Structure 1
Amino acid sequence: MSLNLALQGKRVLVTGGTKGVGRAVVDLFIELGADVITTARVHSADMPSCLFVAADLATVDGCEAVVDAVGSHWGNVDIIVHVVGGSSSHGGGFAVLGEEAWRRELDLNLFPAVRLDRALIPAMLEQRHGVIIHVTSIQSQLPLPDATTAYAAAKAALSTYSKSLSKEISPKGVRVVRVSPGWVETEASVALAERLAQQAGTDIDGGKAIIMDSIGGIPIGRPSTPAEVASLIAFLASPLAASITGAEYVIDGGTVPTT
């Protein structure tokens, strides 16, 4: 028996939708019958049938371009999935993180959600329904001090912002949920595993093992897939999850230890 998520005809904005988790989210929502607008800095030639907005969401102008596109095509959205994010800081710990590195991580991992929410939530409140999903990271709990301190801090800020937002607008009909992935096997993570494998003189499986060891291991023995993360997001965005708000759902294969 198939599970009907009742997402047909829903207007969905997905940020960072050309690669990895974002692309998997776009593909799944389209498959489920939703209308999708997605955005990234560069268009991908093999994108499915949806409206694409080329924009750098790390900038105010980029966020405004997306808001304008939503307004001109739909007027409003029913679901926002904030996927865009990432880390570009070099290794070396806190001492190598200058002003620009900190600003870059905050501009990419926190401010796009803040700016787009601020612009699009008022119309959601008027219609008294909507869902906002912020993709955070287990690194807000398990940062890697050598290279991801600023990224982890930005994702922790996103998680706190999301929780506060949920308490403010959930009573008015708009749900806010967080999805916190661990290591996901995206194009970028595979490339990283290949680089580590080459440096260590091993194969791709050895490179993946290096990454898993660096985060303390993954009990299921493998990273999550983008499709698995997208499936969780689709369920949380659906009416089947109508009583879920303010919560953070970890999808990490058991990486984060619990007590």
Structure 2
Amino acid sequence: MSEGSFGVVKCYRHDFDKLEYAVKQTKRPICGESNLQQQLQEIYALSSFPHRHIVRYFDGWVEDRAVFVRLEKLDDCMASLPPPVSESVLTAMLHQTSTALYELHSHDVVHMDVKPENILKRQLDADTFIFKLCDFGLARPLNGKDSVTGEHFLGLNDDDGDRRYMSPELLKNLHDVVGPPADMYALGKSCEAMMTATEDPSNTSARHLESYSPAFIALIESMLCEDPARRPSAFQVVQATLPERLLSDGGLLELQRRIDAIRCEISDLDASDNDVMSSPRT
């Protein structure tokens, strides 16, 4: 189905249920326990986040010095769509992928490798798709805690992501600056790449600007802001890309804001608990 620097994905039909699955196999042979834990990080991350816009994880195992991960099979990735992609499709992709990133960021986890090749799609009709974020091999927690499942998800893989979608702060200092704004930049850069047929999406003169609304272009430009603090959060992009039928539903937005506030309170409580646990006893 696909092949990258770290692994190959093949389609298999299960003997028991006769369904097709995508099975990812790592390329690098396992060398010792520490290397095994590094290669298991994607399994730990995927098992922590069952979400409608994150590729579904079924199981994983180690065999012949390689890690295998069984995932749901989708049609293809976002990169397979010929650019320029329509605003309606890109808006749906931004909305759905941002909900996945919002789930990660709410649990203090960053993806670190958002790009068109890592956004899978299933086509429902001519202009309607379901998008799902995949490839969590470079994901890492921001606070060093174990994942929500209790597995040892520590973000041990310190390989670099795709430099084409790296934020300016990451390009300047690859391993010391990690945060949600880097994911939002990468998502904006991915969208920009799908707006133009040129290999240099930063060449604004090559964009088919007439095909996109000023509001949509402004959203992408805000995600590509040089200053990480000025980029919109995943939640803000979710709001900005809500389908038209939901824009007038103030109750829905208010409920989402309340959920976001509760998650922030939980995160603050977790941080306080960590401070108490780490304080020296007198």
TM-score > 0.5 by shorter chain: no
TM-score by length of 1: 0.30
The structure carrying a bigger helix percent of its residues is 1
TM-score by length of 2: 0.28
Greater C-alpha radius of gyration? 2
